[in-house]
Amino acid sequence: MDRRNFIKVCGAGAAALAAGVHTQLVYSGTAKDFARAKLVDADGKPLKASALSKDEAYVFGYPFAGTPAFLIALPAAAPASGSLKTESGEEYGFPGGVGADKNVVAYMAVCTHQLAHPEKGGSTEMSYSAGKSETAGRAVAITCCSHNSVFDPADGGRVLTGKATQPLPGIRLEHDAATDEIYATGMYGADFLDDYFKKFKSKLNKEFGIGKYREEAKDTVQAVPLSKYSTDIDRC
């Protein structure tokens, strides 16, 4: 974000706060490297890209233990890495699909409107619909039932409708063609997590243990179906 846009965003945020209005996050759309972590199932066995279910999203903690991300096997290939530009002019990079069919993608499972996200062993208003969603009016969509924001996982996580204005930050994946294994290697818009940690520090300490939610994911990371991660899934 250039200096003029930064000043504009800060000014708009100050005005909104003065009026008592909630402001949305504005984060950088650039990629940041994190530890290379192999995605494994609940038994510690490596996930295979070609064996992933296309019926629901998987949840894995990356780039930190307490930051949930969605791993999704789309019904068709995703675009190559690129960037999206919002109506207000911000530009956000996103990673392309991986796997033999280039259909495996990953995004933060945290809504860019008010940070709704899946709770480990709890509830979630964020979910992925492989079939048609009432709120989205289409299949293959990530929905946040909190304020009916809809994101397109097949097009860089862009916003389709709802109160969110920024796309979902993407998780960069790597695919080993020889083994069909999947690795997470980085994230777009990592500064997005600063506000997330500030807002949910107390809850995350209870959920993961004091300070453990900030432990960087590395070596291996479990990715489990959303239906096994959260016990109460709000679908809309």
For residue 203, is pLDDT > 50? yes
Closest CA to 143 of 226, 86, 50: 226
pLDDT tens per residue, range 150-200? 999 999 999 999 999 999 999 999 999 999 999 999 999 998 999 999 999
Predicted pLDDT at 24: 53
Whether the CB-CB separation of 30 and 187 falls below 8 Å is answered with no
Cα separation of 201 and 204, whole Å? 5
Q: What is the pTM of this model?
A: 0.88
What was the pLDDT predicted at 23?
A: 43
Question: What percentage of the chain carries pLDDT values higher than 90?
Answer: 79
Task: For residue range 79-99, list pLDDT tens digits in order.
Answer: 999 999 887 888 899 999 999
Give residue 102's pLDDT band: very low, low, confident or very high (50, 70, 90): very high
Domains and CATH numbers, the chain: 28-233 (2.102.10.10)
Helix/strand/coil (H/E/C) assignment for every residue in 158-222: EEEECCCCCCCCEEEEEEECCCCEEEEEEEECCCHHHHHHHHHHHHHHHHHCCCHHHCECCEEEE
Residue 77 CB neighbour total at 10 angstroms: 15
Counted residue by residue, the chain has a size of 236
The model's confidence at residue 25, banded by pLDDT at 50, 70 and 90, is low
Q: Average pLDDT for residues 109-119, to the nearest whole number? A: 95
**Separation in Å, CA 66 to CA 15, 164, 168, 223:** 32, 22, 17, 13
* Per-residue model confidence (pLDDT) at position 27: 76
